[in-house]
Amino acid sequence: MRAALTTPRPEPNHLLPVVGSGLVILLALPVFLFASLPIGGWALAAALWAAVHVLDALLRRARGDAGNLAASGVQAFGLFFKSIGVLVVLIAAVVADPKLAVAAAVTYALAYTFELGLNLATYFGSTR
H or E element in which residue 1 lies: none
How far apart, in Å, are the Cα atoms of 85 and each of 13, 49, 103, 120? 25, 11, 18, 24
Reported as a single tens digit per residue, the pLDDT across 62-100 is 766 556 677 777 778 888 989 999 999 999 999 999 999
pTM score of the predicted model = 0.86
The residue type of 93 is A
Number of continuous H segments (helices) and E segments (strands) in the chain = 5, 0
Reported as a single tens digit per residue, the pLDDT across 35-64 is 999 999 999 999 999 999 999 888 887 766
DSSP string, 46-90: HHHHHHHHHHHHHHHHHH--TTSHHHHHHHHHHHHHHHHHHHHHH
For 11, the 3-state DSSP assignment is coil
Tell me the domain boundaries of the chain.
13-124
